[in-house]
Chains A and B, each alone.
Chain A
Amino acid sequence: MTRMARLIDITRCTACRGCQVSCKRWNQLPGEIGPATGSYQSHADLSPGRWTMIEFYEEKKNTGFEWHFRKKTCMHCGDAGCLKACPNGALVREENGTIRHIEEKCIGCGYCTVHCPFGIPKIDEAAKKMRKCTFCYDRITNGREPACAKTCVPRAIVYGTWDDMASLADERLAQAKKLYPNARIYGRDELGGLGVIYVLPDKPSNYGLPEDPRLPASLGIWKQAVHPFGNAILGASLAATGLAFIISRRNAMKLEESAKLEEGGYKDE
Chain B
Amino acid sequence: MSKPRMVRRFSAVVRVSHWLYALSFITLAVTGYMIYGSALDWMIPLFGSLEGAMVVHRVAAVFLIMAVLIPILMRPREVTAWLGEVFTFTEADIAFLKTFPAKFVGVKKKIPPQGFYNGGEKINSLIQIISGVVMITTGLFMWLSSSPPPIMYPLHALFMAIGSASAIGHIYLALLNPISNEAIRAMINGDVSEKYMQENHGQWYQEVYKAAPKGKRSN
Contact = CB atoms under 8 A, between A and B. Distances in A.
A227 B178 CA distance: 33
B176 A238 contact: no
Nearest to B179: A248
A108 B178 CA distance: 45
Interface stretch (B14-22, B70-78, B151-159, B210-218): B151-159
A88 to B, nearest CB: 7
A87 B172 contact: no
B25 to A, nearest CB: 14
Given A114-B148, A248-B177, A241 B157 contact: no
B150 A219 contact: yes
A182 interface: no
Interface residues of A, number: 36
Interface stretch (B58-66, B103-111, B197-205): B103-111
A109 B50 CA distance: 10
Interface in B63-120: 104-107
Given A107-B50, A249-B178, A226 B154 contact: yes
Nearest to A114: B150
A262 to B, nearest CB: 16
Contacts of B161: 226, 229-231, 233-234
A226 B37 contact: no
A29 interface: no
B35 interface: yes
Given A107-B50, A108-B51, A230 B150 contact: no
A155 interface: no
A248 B109 CA distance: 13
A108 B53 CA distance: 13
B150 A218 contact: yes
Contact of A248 (B35, B38, B106, B171): B106
A216 B150 contact: yes
B36 interface: yes
**Chain A at the B interface: SS class:** helix
A237 interface: yes
Contacts of A251: 105-107, 178
- Interface centre among A85, A226, A250, by most chain B C-beta atoms within 10 angstroms, is A226
Interface in A57-112: 85, 87-88, 107-109, 111
A231 B154 CA distance: 13
- Which one of A236, A238, A244 has the greatest number of beta carbons of chain B within 10 Å? A244
A115 B197 CA distance: 53
Nearest to B178: A252
A230 B106 contact: no
Contacts of B51: 107-108, 128
Interface string A212-241: 000010110110011101110110111011
Nearest to B156: A226
A233 B106 CA distance: 22
A216 B106 CA distance: 46
Nearest 9 Cβ contacts at the A-B interface: A248-B106, A230-B161, A237-B165, A241-B172, A247-B105, A222-B154, A251-B106, A218-B151, A237-B168
9 contacts: A109-B54, A222-B157, A229-B161, A233-B161, A234-B161, A238-B168, A241-B172, A249-B106, A252-B178
Given A88-B38, A109-B35, A229-B161, 12 more contacts: A88-B35, A114-B148, A114-B153, A218-B151, A218-B154, A226-B157, A226-B161, A230-B161, A234-B164, A237-B169, A244-B177, A247-B106
Interface of B: 35-38, 50-51, 54, 104-107, 147-148, 150-151, 153-154, 157-158, 160-162, 164-166, 168-169, 171-172, 176-179
